[in-house]
Each structure stands twice: as C-alpha cells, then as structure tokens.
A and B are shown apart, each in its own frame.
Chain A
Amino acid sequence: MAQIIKLKDKNTDFLEKITELSGEQITLCEQCGTCSAGCPFVSEMDINPSQIMRLVMLGQESVMDSKTMWLCASCFTCTVRCPRKLDLSKVSEALRQVKLRGAIDEIDIKEISDEEALKLPTIAVVGSFRKFTG
C-alpha cells in the first residue's frame, strides 16, 4: 500500500539537521545502490543504506526507528566506493547521535553476562558504548 506523503518545511529541516551533523551533502546521492550492495550488514537491515539516504532527503523522520543505523559498524566499505564520494558512515553516526542525544541508549550494560564481560576485549566494550550510548 503506497504511503502518501506531503513534503513540508519540517521535512527539509530534518534533512538539513542530518546534513549539518554528518557534514555530508545528502542531496548529492544519485541512488546508484553501491552502498547497499557492498554493505556487510545489509541482509540484517530493514531499510537499505541507499534507501536511508533517500528517506533522509525526503525528510522522513521514520528512519529514526530503523535498525539500519545501529547495524552500521562504520566499516567504511560504502565510503570508499560511493561514486559521489559521500560518507554514509557519517550519516549513520549523525542519525545515531540524534537518538542518543535524546538520552536514549541502545545498549544496557546490565544485559552483558559476567562471563561475556570477562571474555570481551576492552575495545569491543568501549567501541560498543561509544556507538550505543549517549
């Protein structure tokens, strides 16, 4: 069922917010799909990276509910392939930050078992907290 959307000023506001926070000119995206095809996590994603770019351009804040930005591990595969030299890792980071700065964490430290906590390397834990907590 097609969703009917209206393009209003607040849509542009959202686009501009993400553009500023990420430093990436999202309107440059030509929707070639290179990012999605190369993404190691794409099969786990509910919205493909290229589609995230599209929806942000359309100012659809619903992307904030997508798993995609949390799955992005900043592996920079899309970054080195985008023919328009857009850095999607930065766009994902910006989307995460919008959420995290609202004091909503994506990870709960208490859920990590003691056994795991002992086993895990420091960089995994710190990395995870840096990306999933505000």
Chain B
Amino acid sequence: MKTGIYLCQCGGNISNTVDLNSVTEHIKKNDENILVKINSHMCSGAGQKLIIDDIKKNGLEKVVVASCSPHFHEKTFRSTLKKAGLNPYVLEIANLREHCSWIHKDIPEIATEKAKDIVDAALAKAELNYPLEEKKMQLGNEILVIGGGIAGIQTSLDLADSGKKVTLVEKLPTIGGNMAILTKTFPTEDCAACILSPKMAAILDHPNITLYTNSEIEDIVGHRLHFEARVKKHPRYIKDTVNMDLCLSCNKCTEVCPVTQPNYWEQGIINREAIYIPAPHAIPFKYLIDAENCLHFRDNSCKKCAEVCPQNVIDFEQKEEIINVAVDSVVVATGYDIFDAREKSVFGYGKYENVVTAMEMERIVDHIVEAEPPRKVGKRVAFVQCVGSRDEQVGNEYCSRVCCMYSVKLASLLKQAKPETDIYIFYTDLRAFGKGYEEYYKRSQKMGIKFIRGKPSHFTEDKETKQVIITVEDTLSRNIIETEFDLVVLANGLVLSKSSDIVADSLKLAKSDDGFFKEAHPKYKPVDTLVEGVFLAGTAQGPKDIPDTVAQASAAAARVIATLAQKEVPLDPILAFVHQEICDGCEKCLEMCPPKAISMNADGKAAVNEALCLGCGSCIESCPIEALDLNYYTNKQLYAEIEAVLKFKKENEKRILVFADDNTTYRLIDACGVRKMKYTDCIRVLRIPSGSRVTPNLLQFAFAKGADAVFIGDSPEKSSRFEWANNVTNKNLEVVKKKLKELNIESERLVFSQFTAADMMKFITEIDQLADKIDKMDPITDELKKQLLPNKEIKE
C-alpha cells in the first residue's frame, strides 16, 4: 500500500509560518515509504497534475493533501483522484492553513509542531480510508398528493396526465375540499360544483391515480426525494363498492336511519342521517356511517339500515386499514380552515343565532331561491370583513385575500335573488386585486349594496327579535352606527388547516409567521419547500383564490415533473452501515434513528436504508458491540486519528481535543482562521458529522491517549440538520462524566457547546477558558489513563 502526502505552501500562507521541511523530515522519520512532496499551490493545475502523475506512475493508493480547509478544496482534490482512476474517498485533507498557520502566525515553531500532529492524524486516517461507492438513487414515478381540494385535484390530474403515478389522500369522505361547499365563484358567478365536478370525476377515472378518501396521513419519513408514508384509511362500514356493483344507492338506508346530524357539506343548515352520502357531487359517490353518532356504535340499539339494505352491504365490523406508500415526491395541498369566529367573542358567533360564518352563508345563498329555503335571511343583512384576519388581537396579522371578494359575491348573489334585501358591507380596506375583481366590486355597488368603512367594535342581540345589533363607526362620516340586522355574516379569514400539522411535523416543513407553510424562496421557488422533493400547492402555502390556487397547483406538478426528470440522483456515501458479521440482531439501534433509516433485514440483522439515512452517526452509540458504523468516520478511523494526533504530545504540554461538527463548528474554526484570530495553540481539531458521533468509548479513548480536555462543538438543536443529535451527545457526555467522577478526574475537562455560524468569539472565549482551566489542573496520571481505556479490544 502506498501513500502520498502533498504539503502545500499556499503561496506562503502556510509555509511562511509552518516549516514544511521539518514536517517532511517528521513524516519520513516515522515511515520512510511515504511519498512526500512540497508544492506552492496544490489546487493549481500543476499541483493537481503532480498528484495524477504520482498515482499513475507510482501507484499511489492513498492521498493526503495538507493545505487549506476541506471546505475549500476537498471537492477539487476528490475529482483529481477520480481523474487518475482512484476512488475519491481515499483522499484525506490536513487543514494546515485555517486551523494552524493563520492562527499561530506569531509562533512558527509551535505551529510547525501542531502541523505535524495534524498531518499525522490525516495520514493515520488515510491509511484506513477505503473506496466508497457513489451510489445513485433511482427516481421513480410515484407521487403522494396530500389533500383532495381543488389544489390537490389539479396537481394530481396534471401529474397523472404526464404519466406519473399519483396517490391522493383526502381526510374527508369526498374530495372537493372547501370549493365543494361554495355556491358560486367570483367574479364570474359560475357554479362552483359545476366547474369542480368534472375534475373530481376525472380523479376517480384516471388510471394513474389511486384515491384514498376518509383517510389520514399517520406518518411520513424521508428527507430527500424518497418518502415513505403511512396512510390510515378509516372504515366506511360499507362493503367495498368500487365498481358500484354492490350498493345500488337506493337510499333505503338513510330513509330508516333515526339519527340527524348537521351536514358539513351544507355547513349545518341542512341535516343528514348517520348513514349518508356527503353531497350530491361527492366523489366517490358512496355511503358511509358516521360511527360517532350511529346508534349501533353508541349502544348497539339500532341496525335498521342493515335490515333494509337489499344488497347486504352494510358491515359494522369493518376496521381501519393501514396502507404504506413509498414515493419519490410529495405535494402538500392540505389547504385551509376558516378562522374559528368563537375566538372573536365580541361578535357572539355560536351565541347569537343570526350571526353566521361566510361559509354558512355560501349554503344559505345556494338554497335561497328555493320555495322553502332551509334558512331565511330577513330584510337587512350585514357582512363584517376581516374577522380573524388583520387582527393582532387574535394573533393574525395577515390579510386573507379572498374575503373581500367572497363577501361581494355573496352579497351580489343575495341581492340578485332577493332584491328587496338591504345589504351592508362593513370593511376596513376593500381589496379587489384580481382580474375582473374591481369591475365586480363596482357592479355590486351599482346594485345598491352599501359599503361602509368601519370595523364593528361589538355586537349585541335583541333577545326578543333575535336581531343582531352592530355598533360601528362610519369612519368616513365619523358617525357611530348602532343598528339591528336580521342576519350578520362574518367574513372569516383563513388559517392553515389543522390536519396539516401531522404533515408539517413528519416532513419538518417550516412555517412562515402567518402560520402557513413556508416556500423555499418567496420569489423564485414559490412552490418548493426546503425539503427536496416536497412541494406546496394551494392555500396550505397562504390564502389565495381559486385561479391562484389552480395556477400554483399546476406549478407544483411541473416542479415535480422537472425534479423527477433527473431520473437518478447521487447519494452521499457517507452514511451509516452495519458490519453484518458482528450484528447480533438486538434491535437496540432501531429506536435510535429518528429518520427511521434502520430496519431489520431478512437475516434478522440491522440494515440501513441509504435513501433515508442522513449520516449523523447518532445511532452508533446505541450498538453495544460496535456493529454499527459510519462510512468515512468509522470507529477504527476515529480511534486511529485520536491516537495519531496525540502521539507526539510532550510531557509538559497540554492538549484539548476538539470534535467539531462538519456543518457548523468546523466551519466556524475555519472562519477564525480566515479572520486571523488567535486562540490557544494546545487544541487539535478533528472533523465529525455531528457531536453525537463521538461515542463514550471514543471520548474515554481520547483521555486515555493523553487529551487533557475534550471539547465537542455542534449546532443548536433548532438549526441542526439532525435535531435529535444533541440529545445523544448529552447522553454520551453523561456516561463519560460519570466515569471521570468515579476516577476522581475533573469532569469539567469534558465540554459540549453549541454554536451558530457567527459565534467565532464565543468559540475562542470558551476554548481559551478551557485551556486556562486545564493549565491549573494536575495532569491525568498514567494509571488513570489506563483505567479510562474502553473495555473493548480496539481492533488494529
């Protein structure tokens, strides 16, 4: 096995401080077979050619470049190795510039000695580096669309039409979402159900769409272009009627059902039975039993529907089903709930019978032309805008965008149906921003609808007439209006639907200040999220009207198609793996992996799903026999690095061994170098994926091999890619601190601290303080060091 090391002068940046000749001698003294070369700029074409030539001519198998931080040129040198036909992961970088020469400019001798330690550690690790396969994850054709409102419907159809396989999950028993409740749409006044029904039907008929209604997402795992979801399908208590061949929709069951409950699709103004079809345009057009209110489920007192059913399709024994779905992308179209007006108690919703929500008004208006409408509106009707929007008293600062126009619509429809109605709209600012909206607003004014600029302070109720008395300032005339209305319609704002929470939690999707899902970039990535392969459609991202929702839903579909067109994506090979020959199948690691990447294989041994593993290393501690390991940061490699970096520590010297997480702390230490900041020269920094990678065994090993203190740096939980990792790190720390205490060794020698990218001063202060502290302590005796050696045999 032949190793080559290249010492970069970096045009003096390194060599003016570190005596590279002395480093060369040091390397040669330890192992004369190592090829050592000094070059002014290793990153230059000439420098790289040097490596390529040596690989080809001298048959180098391992390469160390001692230069700047790996965050500058690791990629460069990996591709250099690739060009020479060597696996890029046998490369090791020794960070002589940011971590050494730039920091210790004033103390060149000490810097040179430190450089030797850094180089030794890199060489020791490089010896154990092995080729890693850069696997590709094949992208498939499977997409999960969550939410069957107009957004989810549009996205699903676009995707299915382009040949993708779509699984559409809807929590309610029919798709259609809120749009299926609306009467007509603004500004064109075309019937919502009429324009929606064909799309709903197309979902059911499409060969590329699998629809689960009455179903909820239980859990989703995955972080990048591979997701596994668990869908819970609630029972309908009707034998499957996919082809409509069993149930005849004869309605005999509902005729005998003694239960009455408000029908959600009529917003409670019309009732339904416990066995029912949600709406005339329901898709699927299937009965279901509302088990919460059905007498059979309540007290076993009624089976009337089952008795009359000519087809015997009622099945009280039906159970919920769990369906597992694996997909390449997810579209979140979970939509909105209307603001709960009860929170705005001054308006008496739920208390005063003639205060209704705008959603209820959709149904009231829809039925108003009937001979005997289920709910009359009376002579005088008021609409009150901005209920739960633009109101910081209820915590909602944002404008819900659609309420102005839906109020104009409902008022216009009512005025056309019942011209004798006197209609007032109380608003603060009227926003008619869309195409044709201003004209629509003007038409409503032409009909005689009165717009009054003022937000009511409170309502009261006339207990006899049940009229609602509104108190409001007309801010334009400065009069206080105090008037009775027969019906008051609250223009409720929109909030993110409650059912979105499970999706948000499992996919770790960020939310904006308004509580809706946050897009990856407000201008350029309006339908992407920060999770690769998860997209947003419709009001889940923020309030919007139907045209915007449909446009965004199609955009989400297009983004899915563009993303999956890559066909395959490279997988980072720095992932956990299992030494199959060691694993005894104890399953302890399963709980330790929050991304759920570890499962048991057919042989009863643990196996890592490479699409789900994030490479944090938190799982490794959970394995009592070190069968779990992490590529590029294996136990063997870390033991070797620790030993090598401490090997030439002199009697009178002190050492702090720093384990720096690659994402934050390591870069932070780089940044200290870039700014030529000064800190104690007794530290030696090792790079790790996260603090949790450093198991108690490794920590004890560090002390046993001569570290006077060990410092672990990681990012704070909430900004970490691995939010669970700090917990593991703390647990590991506890174990070792306990051990230290047992041996009467100061537990302050072990420090865990958290940093953000700009915490340079914090790092320097803490590390210098620690150095001062250990200066005042007696060294750990050889006897104690021996006792600190992990019980396990360290394999050479």
Say if the two chains contact directly (CB < 8 Å): yes
Tell me the A residues contacting B by CB distance below 8 Å.
Answer: 30-38, 42-43, 48, 50-51, 77, 80-85
Among the 9-residue stretches B472-480, B598-606, B634-642, B735-743, the one with 4 or more Cβ atoms under 8 Å from chain A is: B472-480
Report chain B residues within 8 Å CB of A82: 393
What mask results when residues 475 to 489 of chain B are scored 1 for a CB within 8 Å of chain A, else 0? 100101000000000
Report chain A residues within 8 Å CB of B474: 33
Measured between C-beta atoms, what is the minimum distance from A15 to chain B in Å?
A: 19
Q: Check if B391 sits within 8 Å of A31, measured CB to CB.
A: no
Kindly identify which residue among A35, A50, A81, A85 contacts B346, using a CB–CB cutoff of 8 Å.
A81
Q: Check if A37 sits within 8 Å of B393, measured CB to CB.
A: no
Once A80-B393, A83-B391 are accepted as A-B contacts, the answer to whether A34 and B455 lie under 8 Å apart by CB is yes
Once A48-B478, A81-B346 are accepted as A-B contacts, the answer to whether A36 and B392 lie under 8 Å apart by CB is no
Counting contact residues on chain B (CB < 8 A from A), the size range is: 20 to 34
Nearest residue in B to A43 (C-beta to C-beta)? Answer: B480
7 extra A-B contacts, CB within 8 A, seeds A48-B478, A83-B390 = A32-B475, A33-B457, A34-B456, A34-B457, A37-B471, A77-B457, A85-B392
Q: Check if B473 sits within 8 Å of A48, measured CB to CB.
A: yes
Once A38-B471, A48-B478, A50-B475 are accepted as A-B contacts, the answer to whether A33 and B393 lie under 8 Å apart by CB is no
Nearest residue in B to A77 (C-beta to C-beta)? Answer: B457
Kindly identify which residue among B386, B429, B457, B478 contacts A38, using a CB–CB cutoff of 8 Å.
B457
Report chain B residues within 8 Å CB of A81: 346, 393, 457-458
Nearest residue in A to B389 (C-beta to C-beta)? Answer: A83
7 contacts across the A-B interface (CB closer than 8 A): A30-B429, A34-B457, A35-B457, A36-B480, A37-B472, A77-B457, A83-B391
Q: Check if A30 sits within 8 Å of B428, measured CB to CB.
A: yes
Report chain B residues within 8 Å CB of A35: 457
Q: Check if A38 sits within 8 Å of B455, measured CB to CB.
A: no
Measured between C-beta atoms, what is the minimum distance from B247 to chain A in Å?
A: 50
Interface residues of B in 466-517 (CB under 8 A from A): 471-475, 478, 480
Interface residues of B in 376-405 (CB under 8 A from A): 386, 390-393
At the interface, yes or no: B454 with Cβ under 8 Å from chain A?
Answer: yes
Interface majority SS on B: helix, strand, loop or mixed?
A: mixed
Report chain A residues within 8 Å CB of B458: 37-38, 81
A48 to B476 alpha-carbon distance, docked (Å): 12
Report chain A residues within 8 Å CB of B455: 32-34, 37, 83
A81 to B392 alpha-carbon distance, docked (Å): 9
| A-B pairs with beta carbons under 8 A, tally | 66
Interface majority SS on A: helix, strand, loop or mixed?
A: loop
Q: Check if B386 sits within 8 Å of A83, measured CB to CB.
A: yes
Q: Check if A33 sits within 8 Å of B346, measured CB to CB.
A: no
Measured between C-beta atoms, what is the minimum distance from A56 to chain B in Å?
A: 15
Report chain A residues within 8 Å CB of B475: 31-33, 36, 50
Q: Check if A32 sits within 8 Å of B392, measured CB to CB.
A: no
Q: Check if A51 sits within 8 Å of B478, measured CB to CB.
A: yes
Measured between C-beta atoms, what is the minimum distance from A6 to chain B in Å?
A: 23
What mask results when residues 404 to 448 of chain B are scored 1 for a CB within 8 Å of chain A, else 0? 000000000000000000000000110000000000000000000
Kindly identify which residue among B393, B456, B473 contacts A50, using a CB–CB cutoff of 8 Å.
B473
Measured between C-beta atoms, what is the minimum distance from B695 to chain A in Å?
A: 51
A95 to B374 alpha-carbon distance, docked (Å): 54
Report chain B residues within 8 Å CB of A36: 457, 473, 475, 478, 480
Q: Check if B346 sits within 8 Å of A37, measured CB to CB.
A: no
Report chain A residues within 8 Å CB of B390: 30, 83
Nearest residue in A to B385 (C-beta to C-beta)? Answer: A32
Report chain A residues within 8 Å CB of B391: 83
Once A31-B475, A32-B475, A50-B475 are accepted as A-B contacts, the answer to whether A37 and B454 lie under 8 Å apart by CB is yes
Report chain B residues within 8 Å CB of A83: 386, 390-393, 428, 455
Measured between C-beta atoms, what is the minimum distance from A100 to chain B in Å?
A: 27
In the complex, the 5 A-B pairs of residues with the closest C-beta atoms, listed nearest first: A33-B473, A38-B457, A37-B457, A32-B455, A36-B473
Measured between C-beta atoms, what is the minimum distance from A8 to chain B in Å?
A: 25
Measured between C-beta atoms, what is the minimum distance from A25 to chain B in Å?
A: 13
A80 to B392 alpha-carbon distance, docked (Å): 10
Report chain B residues within 8 Å CB of A30: 390, 428-429
Report chain A residues within 8 Å CB of B346: 81
A112 to B57 alpha-carbon distance, docked (Å): 111
Q: Check if B386 sits within 8 Å of A42, measured CB to CB.
A: no
Once A36-B473, A36-B480, A50-B473 are accepted as A-B contacts, the answer to whether A84 and B457 lie under 8 Å apart by CB is no
Measured between C-beta atoms, what is the minimum distance from B592 to chain A in Å?
A: 46
Nearest residue in B to A85 (C-beta to C-beta)? Answer: B392
Report chain A residues within 8 Å CB of B453: 33
A30 to B399 alpha-carbon distance, docked (Å): 13
A84 to B396 alpha-carbon distance, docked (Å): 10
Measured between C-beta atoms, what is the minimum distance from A13 to chain B in Å?
A: 26
Report chain A residues within 8 Å CB of B456: 34, 37
Report chain A residues within 8 Å CB of B473: 33-34, 36-37, 48, 50
A57 to B472 alpha-carbon distance, docked (Å): 22
A31 to B393 alpha-carbon distance, docked (Å): 16
> Of residues A38, A80, A84, which shows the largest number of chain B Cβ atoms within 10 Å of its Cβ?
A38
A34 to B471 alpha-carbon distance, docked (Å): 9
Measured between C-beta atoms, what is the minimum distance from B437 to chain A in Å?
A: 21
A100 to B454 alpha-carbon distance, docked (Å): 33
Report chain B residues within 8 Å CB of A51: 478
A28 to B109 alpha-carbon distance, docked (Å): 63
What mask results when residues 449 to 465 of chain B are scored 1 for a CB within 8 Å of chain A, else 0? 00001111110000000
A106 to B346 alpha-carbon distance, docked (Å): 34
A127 to B521 alpha-carbon distance, docked (Å): 55
A36 to B458 alpha-carbon distance, docked (Å): 11
Kindly identify which residue among B392, B429, B454 contacts A33, using a CB–CB cutoff of 8 Å.
B454
Report chain B residues within 8 Å CB of A34: 455-457, 473
Nearest residue in B to A28 (C-beta to C-beta)? Answer: B392
Report chain B residues within 8 Å CB of A32: 386, 428, 454-455, 475
Kindly identify which residue among B393, B428, B471, B472 contacts A85, using a CB–CB cutoff of 8 Å.
B393
A81 to B390 alpha-carbon distance, docked (Å): 12
A32 to B427 alpha-carbon distance, docked (Å): 8
Report chain B residues within 8 Å CB of A48: 473, 478, 480
Measured between C-beta atoms, what is the minimum distance from B612 to chain A in Å?
A: 45
> Of residues B392, B429, B474, which shows the largest number of chain A Cβ atoms within 10 Å of its Cβ?
B392
What mask results when residues 625 to 643 of chain B are scored 1 for a CB within 8 Å of chain A, else 0? 0000000000000000000
A35 to B346 alpha-carbon distance, docked (Å): 13
Measured between C-beta atoms, what is the minimum distance from A28 to chain B in Å?
A: 10
Nearest residue in A to B481 (C-beta to C-beta)? Answer: A37
A38 to B456 alpha-carbon distance, docked (Å): 8
A77 to B392 alpha-carbon distance, docked (Å): 15
A41 to B474 alpha-carbon distance, docked (Å): 17
Nearest residue in B to A42 (C-beta to C-beta)? Answer: B480
Measured between C-beta atoms, what is the minimum distance from B460 to chain A in Å?
A: 12
What mask results when residues 337 to 364 of chain B are scored 1 for a CB within 8 Å of chain A, else 0? 0000000001000000000000000000
What mask results when residues 175 to 219 of chain B are scored 1 for a CB within 8 Å of chain A, else 0? 000000000000000000000000000000000000000000000
